[in-house]
A and B are shown apart, each in its own frame.
Chain A
Amino acid sequence: MTSFPIFTRLQVDNYGLFPGTKRKPGIDIDLQSGLTLVLGANGLGKTTLVSLIYRLCVGTYDIGALTASGELGGKKIQARKQPLSKRRWFAERVNDGAVNATATLNFELGSTSFSVTRALDDLDLLELRIDQELAPAEEAQYQRIIEESAGVNVFGEWILLLRHLAFYFEDRRALVWDPSAQRQLLRLLFLSPRASKEWVEAERDVLQRDSAARNTQAVLSRLEQTLAAGEEAASSDGEIREELAALQELQAVDQPKLDDLNGRVSELDERRNAARLDALTAEGRHESAYRDLERLQIQTIAAAFPTSGDTARYLMAQLVSDGICLACGHRSPKTSANLKKRLEDKRCVVCNSSLEPSAPAPSQRTINKAQKTLDAAAENFAAMKGSRDALEAEFEELVGQIQKLNRSVAERSARIDSLAKRLPPGDSELHEQRSEISVLRGRVEVMKAELDDRRDAYSQLIKRTSREIVSHKDHIQKNFLDFAEGFLLEKCELKWAPHKDTIGEAGPAIQFPAFVLVMGGTDFSSPQRRRGPDQVSESQREFIDLAFRMALIRVAGTGGSGSIVIDAPESSLDAVFVSRAAEVLTRFASEGENRLVITSNLVEGDLIPELMRRAKIHTPSNDRVVDLLKIAEPTTATRTLSRQYSEVRDRLFSKARRGSKK
């Protein structure tokens, strides 16, 4: 089980940005279970405060590829010390370089309590208490205890947990649309530390071997070129020399081309599979619409044709639906139109006699609506099929190109070897080079064979461990739905959709555990896979990401609890959704030992008053409110316009109070 931090207290002393009040200098906040609200204005240090909590947890360590779009492979989850310039981030925000400034964060991690004090000028660890006992204030010691208490293998994984689950920074990676990050998170949260470690080590081993094999291959290629040039110079046979040079030149052009094409296979295969799935889904919807229309038409026919047998009704319905006569296979739109007309006129479909229906038939309007749905589904199906077929063709074309290129590279290589053998014996240096190349070729072959074996073993390991992760699937899906339904009106669910990815530069793709979002929407007749953040609105994006985080904390955290720190969540919400968002945030905050820290500028929106109302916060002096207007160093704006800022703040509180009285 993974433990997420439960923040309990934050103290900041002697830091110029947060002088505090005379009676209570600095910051000293008891982070109680539930909501804590940090209210401020531009420049008062909201984001600094959130960053401070984060940095108290991780010190000066970071992991690579946290915010960029690059892949989060096992290789990059190694925590590395920040460059010196970045370590002075807090110092550079104040006049005195934060020389005397310190901050202390208290948090629980499973059954262990931590008290971490750091100097704010360089984030050095000043004091460490574990379960109230003083421990050596050494970073390595701190990291080791964190790893043990959080249930992670390396400190980098702790950073990953904080960045992807606890802290909602502006430059975050949205977990739902980041299969690479999901892969790492799901591994961390749902595998035992031992299995998780085995995964990371196997992945790293494959990456290292892949890199070593490619480097050795590059050395080999260079040596072959040098040898070819040497042989060319040594050769007295002009014809052979010319051919060798030409072949070497072509080889030098084709080899990178081949590498490039091989690199595209996996990406294209992924797109092709997505298109196949879209086409299958569209086909299913089309079939459903077709059967719905058929049903309505059978009902209509049954009403007008009460004594007909099933076969006759079935045949008629098909003829009316798609104009094809199932008896002879011919298309007969004219007959179909005539039959439709008879149905509309409530006449017998066979003999055209006037009939009073014996059972209620669906209205023409209902049938027209079903027909429209079918037409739309048919259009969508045709479009999806078109995309799929185009990608199938593109893929086949690519595979064809690779095969062709492989053949010509191999043939050329054989020809080069045979030409080289026909050259007159060269000097000793050339002989030496030839034997060196021969040894290296053998070595590359061995390395590639070993790499293939390791890749295969790694792929089997992922398959095995994915089964462990997928056993939590239903629980994650259910909890995601619970939070997401609170935020969104659209039908929205997580689907288990393993993501194919290659490890290293080439090699077969491996399926990694991942979820994908399926969601309905205004322009979609049925829920669709939303494969990227661009496929939903900004506010949906934020709250879907939050729902996923909350679900994971609930499912994977010790006691289902954790902390989430969100910087300014209100920006993208419209007025109507404020109440829904507040309800879900409050629900998360009120569960177990959860902590929800929200920072906000004093804006006129309804989210903050709504949150305050639900958390029963009615005055700025409430101990769940961190009022930066009061305790932070004023900016020119807040000093000059202090009255206006206070009025806005008071309006927020009175709005919260009014809401409570309703």
Chain B
Amino acid sequence: MIVSDEEAAKILRRQLRIMAILAGAESVGLSPVSSRQLHVFGYFTDALAPVWGLRILDVRLLKLQEGPTSSELQHDVDRLVGRGVVAVSDVSHSVDSDGLWRLDANYALNSAFGAPILDQARLFNEFADEIAYTREVVYALSGLGQAGLAHAPSFDASYGDELVDSGDMVNLEAGDRGDNLTAQVADRFEEVVPPGITITDAEKVHLYIRELYSRFHNDA
């Protein structure tokens, strides 16, 4: 398979994200991760990426009743399974509420292959930042519990925005060309803390997810 350096770097970055998600999930006892949960983790790492000044990997996605789903992320996992980096179990297929066939499976990081790759990546600041950030997002989301995690997107400022109907596009583009509401809301926590107190990017992520948690519980 011939790919350009740029393409290879892109694929690598995407695959590292999945590995970081699975590693983070394992360390909070959430392993294996179902494909549904994996897509939710993937979505939030994208939506909150601007808070850490990181790039978004899937800028635009379809809003589906089932929750965020990225074909690219699914194919990245496929590749990692093929390389033995990710172990797959309980593979099945089902039709979701949007009438689309989807793959259901559970994924876990094969530490024998995965840990050395992540260690190697951490030697480089840029990747180390992305891995650390992904871990924070997974830690924060894992606090929602299984049910909370499943419903988190519907309470999210971007994916759950009632002005975006299912079947329409959720655009996470930040800056002049779009308004990533998720990152905007997370950034706004800075404005509501008492004067003299500063909050870190990691704390903004945790505060945002905690807000989702309280919305989920108020709604339940």
- CB-based contact B101/A289 at 8 Å: yes
Majority DSSP secondary structure for residues of A touching B: helix
Give CA–CA (A314, B80) in the complex, Å.
Answer: 12
B192 within 8 Å of A (CB atoms): no
Interface residues of A in 400-429 (CB under 8 A from B): none
Give CA–CA (A172, B167) in the complex, Å.
Answer: 29
Given A291-B93, A292-B93, A496-B165, answer yes or no on A311-B88 (Cβ-Cβ < 8 Å). Answer: yes
B61 within 8 Å of A (CB atoms): yes
Given A286-B71, A310-B105, answer yes or no on A318-B91 (Cβ-Cβ < 8 Å). Answer: no
Tell which of A280, A315, A324 touches B60, judged by Cβ atoms closer than 8 Å: A280
Given A287-B100, A292-B93, A314-B88, answer yes or no on A470-B71 (Cβ-Cβ < 8 Å). Answer: no
Among A311, A313, A328, A518, which residue has the most Cβ atoms of chain B within 10 A?
A311
Give CA–CA (A522, B96) in the complex, Å.
Answer: 24
- CB-based contact B169/A498 at 8 Å: no
Q: Could you tell me the distance in whole angstroms from the C-beta of B192 to the nearest C-beta in chain A?
A: 19
B81 within 8 Å of A (CB atoms): yes
Given A330-B1, A496-B163, answer yes or no on A287-B74 (Cβ-Cβ < 8 Å). Answer: yes
- CB-based contact A327/B84 at 8 Å: yes
Q: Hey, which chain A residues are within 8 Å of B167, CB to CB?
A: 281, 495, 518
Q: Hey, which chain A residues are within 8 Å of B98, CB to CB?
A: 284
Give CA–CA (A285, B69) in the complex, Å.
Answer: 12
Give CA–CA (A70, B167) in the complex, Å.
Answer: 29
Give CA–CA (A183, B180) in the complex, Å.
Answer: 24
Q: Hey, which chain A residues are within 8 Å of B69, CB to CB?
A: 284, 287
Q: Hey, which chain A residues are within 8 Å of B162, CB to CB?
A: 467, 470-471, 473
Q: Hey, which chain A residues are within 8 Å of B165, CB to CB?
A: 473, 495-497
Give CA–CA (A314, B64) in the complex, Å.
Answer: 25
Give CA–CA (A341, B74) in the complex, Å.
Answer: 27
Given A314-B81, A326-B78, A329-B82, answer yes or no on A467-B163 (Cβ-Cβ < 8 Å). Answer: yes
A273 within 8 Å of B (CB atoms): yes
Interface residues of B in 137-169 (CB under 8 A from A): 162-169
Give CA–CA (A471, B162) in the complex, Å.
Answer: 8
Closest to B168 in A: A497
- CB-based contact B81/A324 at 8 Å: no
Q: Could you tell me the distance in whole angstroms from the C-beta of A78 to the nearest C-beta in chain B?
A: 29
Residue count of chain A within 8 Å CB distance of chain B: 43
- CB-based contact A470/B100 at 8 Å: no
- CB-based contact A315/B82 at 8 Å: yes
Q: Could you tell me the distance in whole angstroms from the C-beta of A152 to the nearest C-beta in chain B?
A: 25
B219 within 8 Å of A (CB atoms): no
Give CA–CA (A281, B162) in the complex, Å.
Answer: 19
Interface residues of A in 301-351 (CB under 8 A from B): 310-311, 313-315, 318, 324-331
Q: Hey, which chain A residues are within 8 Å of B89, CB to CB?
A: 310
Given A310-B89, A311-B87, answer yes or no on A466-B163 (Cβ-Cβ < 8 Å). Answer: yes
Give CA–CA (A497, B105) in the complex, Å.
Answer: 33
Q: Hey, which chain A residues are within 8 Å of B117, CB to CB?
A: none
- CB-based contact A294/B103 at 8 Å: yes
Residue count of chain B within 8 Å CB distance of chain A: 35
- CB-based contact B101/A326 at 8 Å: no
Closest to A277 in B: B169
Q: Hey, which chain A residues are within 8 Å of B81, CB to CB?
A: 311, 314-315, 326
Closest to A471 in B: B162
Tell which of A281, A298, A328, A473 touches B93, judged by Cβ atoms closer than 8 Å: A298
Tell which of A283, A313, A326, A470 touches B163, judged by Cβ atoms closer than 8 Å: A470
Give CA–CA (A463, B161) in the complex, Å.
Answer: 11
Give CA–CA (A286, B168) in the complex, Å.
Answer: 17
Q: Hey, which chain B residues are within 8 Å of A329, CB to CB?
A: 1, 79, 82-83
A295 within 8 Å of B (CB atoms): yes
Q: Hey, which chain B residues are within 8 Å of A498, CB to CB?
A: 163
Closest to B170 in A: A280
Tell which of B62, B102, B105 touches A280, judged by Cβ atoms closer than 8 Å: B62
Q: Hey, which chain A residues are within 8 Å of B191, CB to CB?
A: none
Q: Could you tell me the distance in whole angstroms from the C-beta of B6 to the nearest C-beta in chain A?
A: 16
Q: Hey, which chain A residues are within 8 Å of B119, CB to CB?
A: none
A276 within 8 Å of B (CB atoms): yes
Give CA–CA (A309, B103) in the complex, Å.
Answer: 16
B126 within 8 Å of A (CB atoms): no
B5 within 8 Å of A (CB atoms): no
Closest to B90 in A: A310
Give CA–CA (A17, B102) in the complex, Å.
Answer: 66
Q: Could you tell me the distance in whole angstroms from the C-beta of B114 to the nearest C-beta in chain A?
A: 15
Closest to A287 in B: B71
Q: Could you tell me the distance in whole angstroms from the C-beta of B31 to the nearest C-beta in chain A?
A: 16
Closest to B167 in A: A495
Q: Could you tell me the distance in whole angstroms from the C-beta of A496 to the nearest C-beta in chain B?
A: 4
Interface residues of B in 170-198 (CB under 8 A from A): 171
Given A288-B102, A473-B165, answer yes or no on A313-B71 (Cβ-Cβ < 8 Å). Answer: no
Among A287, A294, A471, which residue has the most Cβ atoms of chain B within 10 A?
A287
Given A495-B167, A498-B163, answer yes or no on A295-B90 (Cβ-Cβ < 8 Å). Answer: no
Give CA–CA (A318, B1) in the complex, Å.
Answer: 15
Tell which of A288, A295, A327 touches B82, judged by Cβ atoms closer than 8 Å: A327
Q: Could you tell me the distance in whole angstroms from the C-beta of A515 to the nearest C-beta in chain B?
A: 9
Tell which of B1, B61, B101, B163 touches A291, judged by Cβ atoms closer than 8 Å: B101
Ranked 8 nearest A-B pairs via Cβ: A326-B82, A295-B93, A496-B165, A288-B100, A292-B101, A287-B71, A291-B101, A288-B101
Sample (6) of A-B pairs whose CB atoms are under 8 Å apart: A287-B102, A289-B101, A291-B93, A311-B87, A329-B79, A331-B1
B contact set with A: CB distance below 8 Å: 1, 60-62, 64, 69, 71, 74, 78-79, 81-84, 87-91, 93, 98, 100-103, 105, 162-169, 171
* Given A280-B169, A281-B167, A310-B88, 10 more pairs with CB closer than 8 A: A295-B93, A298-B93, A311-B87, A318-B82, A329-B79, A330-B1, A495-B167, A496-B165, A497-B165, A511-B163
